[in-house]
Structures are given as structure tokens and as C-alpha cells.
Structure 1
Amino acid sequence: MSRKDISGHAVGSLVIEGKTKRVWDIPSGDGGSSSFVLIESKDRITAGDGAKAHDLTGKAKVSNATNAKVFQILNSAGLKTAFVKPAGDNAFIAQKCQMVPIEWVSRRLATGSFLKRHPGVPEGYRFNPPLQETFFKDDANHDPQWSEQQIVSAGFCFNGVTIGKGEVDYMRRATICVFEVLERAWRSRNCALIDMKIEFGVNNMGQILVADVIDSDSWRLWPSGDKRLMKDKQVYRNITGEVTQSHLDEIKRNFEWVAEQLDHLTPPYRCMVVILMGSPSDEDHCRKIMECTRALEIPTQMRVTSAHKGTGDTMSILADYEGAEMPIVFIAVAGRSNGLGPVLSGNTCFPVINCPPVKADNVDRDIWSSLNVPSGLGCTTVIHPEGAALAAAQILGLHNHLIWSKLRVRQLQAVASLKAADKKLREQ
């Protein structure tokens, strides 16, 4: 296998070249082909299936940075993607995939080609949940829209995986999940993600992964929800007549703005779960809660305090956290006569969740002690440690898109696991 150097990495043969990128094979240590490729961006912008195209100096660097930041958000949320790591200014390394020749489009608002295909629908019509559409990748026929039935009937098979109804359903669900994760992220910067497209590939192990490139060519993005402020490739599509250098400079500035904004979409966590236990004997129960919150990367602390035996200390601990200037959820772990949760709830406006460490010999009394709280208190009771952790995460996720994204991806993974188990049984 002949080799050359791209972005400081030794690569082998050219796998495929598109309008805006090249895909290079990465050799294995024994000189053969590895399970990875290097995807190199070009300083090229196109529209209309390539009918409109211009060189745009610096676009490759900006697009590569944008793509890396987007996939890092998706990977940190737990989504399965082909992206591995950046490889210099203009390229990145990804798992080698056989690509499913379908563009998966999610739409929050009706605009663009959707309006042409659906006359009578006003621009800005909002889709709840996001509308999902699929298009067969065929430049010669302008990427015709395909139904689920057409995709299944095509009989696609990649790396031993036949694309049937289950696979299409997973990709549809994953497409919506990707959109919602990025929509929440952009909302934190007061930007509306209007629509976007992604692609999937099947790696050498038969896993379906979000693949290809996601950059400013992939979406419509309107700051403050205002179409007039669009920062995406639609600016280029909308140019009529001659495309001047001034036009290209504006487009590049827009793309650079997007890449810079992405740096702010993964801020450090400014929230916390505080687990207060009434006795050190409850530590094992509390650690089960903390394992779940830390799996979601939520900062978590454990404290020991008794509302009955050390009320003043409990109030002092509460005051310290209330002055921390961040969202906090308290989880109270106390059995028998549970005064900890109600006392906390009666003295703070932060959420309080009871999670009593129930024992088999007095389960009914322990649960009743946490349920039968005085009037005027809003502390809830969750019995299972994982349930208490997830309830706290859902509360914090209302204002933290990183936590919300991890919860959203967990939902996708739960469905995918059930489908995989069902498929395994059917194939026995």
C-alpha cells in the first residue's frame, strides 16, 4: 500500500472523494488496512448538488473545527458516533464505516425545500416533535425523498448488517436524538437550530454509528430565532447572480462565528446533588445514589447530619449550600422516623427528594415515614437509589443541556437495547 502524509498522519489509498472532503485509508501496523480512516476537509463550498461551487480559503480549517466540537458534544452525551479525534487543522480520524446512502433530516420549523414540497404550509410552522425525513443520496436525481418502505425494500447490507425495519427505526430515533441534543445546546446561546441533516455508517463490528461530517453545511442556524440573522450555508445558496469575494468573506465570517460559539456549548457544570444521610450506617445506600449521579457526570457530595439530633448543624450545612450560587438538589436518606427530608424541605426552596434506606423488616413504616410529610412541604419520595439519582438529574437537566442530553441518550439506548434483545430472540 502506497503512503502519503496528510495533516501529519501517514495515510494509504484514497477511499472516496466528495465535493467538500476526501476520505483516506489509514494503514495498520502490518501494512494492511486498519479500522480507521482520515477525513480531510477541502477549502470548497458548494450548493445545488454541486452546480454552484467556489473555493473558500480557510473553510476546511473552520469546518473541521466545527465538526470536531459537534461530535465531541455528541460523544460526551453518550451517542455512538464514528468520530475518534481531530487530526490537524483540516482533518479528523474516524472509524471506518460502510455508509448508508441516506440523508436523515430533522426539522423543527418549516422552511426551505419543505415549503416547496408542501404548498400551503406557512413558513415557521413548528413541528412537535421534530419532523424526520429521509432522502436517497443521488446527485443526478437531486437526492429524491424516500419513505421508510423504500429504504427497507432497497435491501441495503453493510458490513453484514441488513438495513431492515429495526435498523431504520433506530436511525430515525437517533436522528431526532441528535437534533434535540444539539438544539438544546444551541438554545443555551440563544440560537435556534431550525433543521439539520446527518448520515449513518456501519463499522467493521456491525455497529450503526452517526458518521460523516456535521458542520455549517449541515444545518440552518438562526441566532435569536431570526431568519435574517442566519449563519449557515443558506446565505451562500441565497446569493443570486455573481458570487463576489465580499460574499465569500461574509460566509467565512459566519462559519467562524459558529465555530467560536461552539466553544461555549460545553461549559463546566455549575450544579450539584447533595446527599444527606441521617446516620453513617446509611453510607452504602448513599453510594449507590452517587454512583448513578456521577455516571451522568453530575458533581455530587455526601454529608452526615441528623435533623433530630443535630438540627442546628443541619441548618448550617443547608445554609452553606444555599450560598453556593448554583442549582442544587438535596437527597435525604433517613429511615425510621424521617425528619431529615421534611426539615430540609421546610427550610429551603431547592428541591428535596426522600430516598429512605428501607429494610425488609420495616419497609412499610420507613416508606410511610417519608410519604406522610406535613402540609406545605414539597419533598418527594423515591425508593430506589437509581430512581432518586435520575429524578435529581431531570430537575437539574431543566437548566443544564449537558445533563439533559445524557438523559435523552439514555432513553435512546434503552429502546435500542430492547430492540436488540427482541431481534436476538427472533433469530434463535
Structure 2
Amino acid sequence: MTPNHGSLLYEGKAKRVFLAEHEQKVFIEFKNSATAFNAVKKAEFEDKGRLNCQISACLFELLETKGIPTHYLGVAGDSWMAARKVEVIPLEVVLRNIAAGSLCKETPIIKGTELSPALLDIYYKDDQLGDPLLTELRLERLGLLTAQQRSEIETIAKNVNNFLKSFFNQIDLILVDFKLEFGIINSGEIVLADEISPDTCRLWDKRISDPKARILDKDRFRQDLDNLLEAYGEVLKRVQGACAKPRNCL
């Protein structure tokens, strides 16, 4: 099902954003595209968009029950989500519970090292620049946030991590690390935006010890492993088994 949407506002690597009938509402279509290494590597996986959309919807609704403000309004089809229109803050906030990925390439920290408390990194969201990691002074120089806004974003991010880490643990998944994005809605409130899915989270299966077989996220694509859709489907099955059916906004 495709909602009755307006013109295309934005198209990214994994989603398209369309105007809705209300000026402060948008429809988001989750694409079947998979990209890695700043879109140097690309492929299409039939049904990937639906899987990410439904996983994100469940997780956004769970976060809302914990008082986390989000852009999410409801599902609008298998691969469609309705959301509040936001002014995107061009930052990526990454929470790391276990060392993996770029952290192990940029530092001598060994992959698999537990990080407690979680490491919070902030990156400038710009593909042409390679989404660079920001230092404290660089973030201040960019002037993208007030001190209060930064504090608010970091508090929300840490609360999201605490909840999701516990939630995933209950369904035998390890939340290794994940990326969050934020936006500002018409009222001026900062809300969690974008998506929360195996595209934006590293998730390991607690029931499997093999370091490759346990991967249930986009690292399967990055590392040329098979069964990407099966991995995403397993995440959806476990998430749906622990939460109510997402609300339909149509």
C-alpha cells in the first residue's frame, strides 16, 4: 500500500521523504537499497525496505512509552512511515557499547572490548566530507547547536541506549553500537528522527557464538556475508514478538 503523498522533498541512500496533506507531516518510504562505505558499495534487496520500516516503527513506539520524543506518527504501509516534518540537524550521534567498526580502525582498542560507560561520538553528516568525527572545538566552531541543545541530544541518546540495550538483551540480541539522528519540529522541540534498524545498529545474536554467523545487521553486506534479508527478518521477528503491532496512521 502506498499513501496518498505529495511531492518528493528529499531522497537519501535508504529513504525517500514526501510531503503529506498537512504541512508539518511527511511520508517516508523505506527503499530496498543497501549501501556501504559512503555508497561506494551498492545493491538492492527485495523486501529490505519493509523490514527496516516495521522494525523502526516498533522501536519508535517502544521508545515513546519511555518518554523519548520522536518524529514517528505511525505506519502508512508496509514500507511507509508517517512522521512529523523536522529540520534535520546535520549530525550523527553514535553510541558504542562494544568496540567495533571504525573505532577499531582509528584506535588501538580491540574489537569486542566492552565500553562502560558507552562511548558517545558525534559526526558531521556530510557524505562528501566522509562524515568526519567532530572534536569538542570543531563542534563549537560549526555552531549547529546551543549548549542546551547539545546537552538535550546527549541525554536523549544515552536514554535511548539504556532502554534499547536492555530491550535487545531480553530478546537475545546484543546492541553493539548504533547511530541516531535528530531534528527540530515546528514547536522548536528536538526529537529523535531517521530510523532505528539493522541498517543503523550493529546487532549480534546472543544464541550464536560464531563471530560471523551471529551478525544480524548491515555488516553482513559490508563483509560480503550471505543472508542479509534472513538476518533482518530474524530481528523483526524477535522485535515484533516483544511489542504491540505498530499503529496505522491511515
| TM-score normalised by length of structure 1 | 0.55
* Matching residue's letter, 1:251: L
Instruction: Give the counterpart of 1:36 among 20, 25, 50.
Output: 25
Instruction: State the identity %.
Output: 28
Look up the equivalent residue of 1:97 and give its one-letter code. V
- Per-residue CA deviation, residues 270-301 of structure 1 (Å, 9 max, x unaligned), is xxxxxxxxxxxxxxxxxxxxxxxxxxxxxxxx
The structural deviation recorded for 1:149 is 3.1
Higher RCO structure (Cα 8 Å, ≥6 apart):
2
Correspondence 1:288-367 to 2 at 5 A: none
Q: Distance in 2 between matches of 1:219 and 1:96?
A: 23
Whole-angstrom CA distance in 1 between matches of 2:149 and 2:117: 21
Deviation of 1:82 after TM superposition, in Å, equals: 0.6
Matches within 5 A, 1:176-191: 176-191=158-173
Q: Which residue of 2 aligns with 1:197?
A: 179
Mark the structure with the bigger radius of gyration: 1
Residue 265 (structure 1) aligned with residue 242 (structure 2): yes
Contact 2:171 2:239 in 1 (8 A): no
Q: Which residue of 2 is the match for residue 343 of structure 1? A: none
1:53 corresponds to 2:42: yes
1:363 alignment partner in structure 2 = none
User: 5+ residue gaps in structure 2?
Assistant: 245-250
Aligned partners of 1:193, 1:60: CA distance in 2, in Å?
A: 21
Structure 1 residue 13: deviation in Å?
1.7
2:63 & 2:181 partners in 1: Cα distance? 14
Query: Secondary structure of 1:64's partner?
Result: helix
Answer whether contact 2:2 2:80 (CA < 8 A) is retained: no
Q: Give CA deviations for 1:49-68 in whole Å, capped at 9, x if unaligned.
A: 11101111111111111111
Contact 2:58 2:243 in 1 (8 A): no
For residues 162-241 of structure 1, the aligned pairs below 5 Å read 163-224=145-206, 226=209, 227-228=211-212, 229-239=214-224
Report how far residue 27 of structure 1 moved: 2.4
Q: C-alpha deviations, 1:361-411, integer Å up to 9, x for none?
A: xxxxxxxxxxxxxxxxxxxxxxxxxxxxxxxxxxxxxxxxxxxxxxxxxxx
Distance 1:192 1:215 in 2: 13
SS of residue matched to 2:176:
strand
Give the structure 2 partner of residue 130 of structure 1: 118
1:64-213 pair list within 5 angstroms = 64-119=53-108, 121-156=109-144, 163-213=145-195
SS of the residue aligned with 1:184? helix
Equivalent-residue separation in structure 2 for 1:148 and 1:215 (angstroms): 28
RMSD: 1.5
Quick check: 1:148–1:168 contact (8 Å CA) kept in 2? no
Q: Secondary structure at the match of 2:120?
A: strand
| Offset of residue 112 of structure 1 | 1.2
SS of corresponding position for 2:50: helix
Deviation at 1:264, TM superposition (A): 2.7
Cα offset, 1:70, TM superposition: 1.0
Aligned residues: 241
Match of 2:20 in 1: 26
CA contact (8 A) 1:152 1:168 kept: no
The Cα offsets for residues 50-105 of structure 1, whole Å up to 9 and x where unpaired, read as 11011111111111111111111111111101101000011100000000011100
State the secondary structure of the residue aligned to 2:28.
strand
Question: Could you tell me how far apart the structure 2 residues matched to 1:76 and 1:191 are?
Answer: 21
SS in 2 for 1:210: strand
Q: Distance in 2 between matches of 1:148 and 1:177?
A: 21
Higher helix share: 1
- Unaligned stretches of 5+ residues in structure 1: 1-6, 29-33, 157-162, 241-246, 268-428
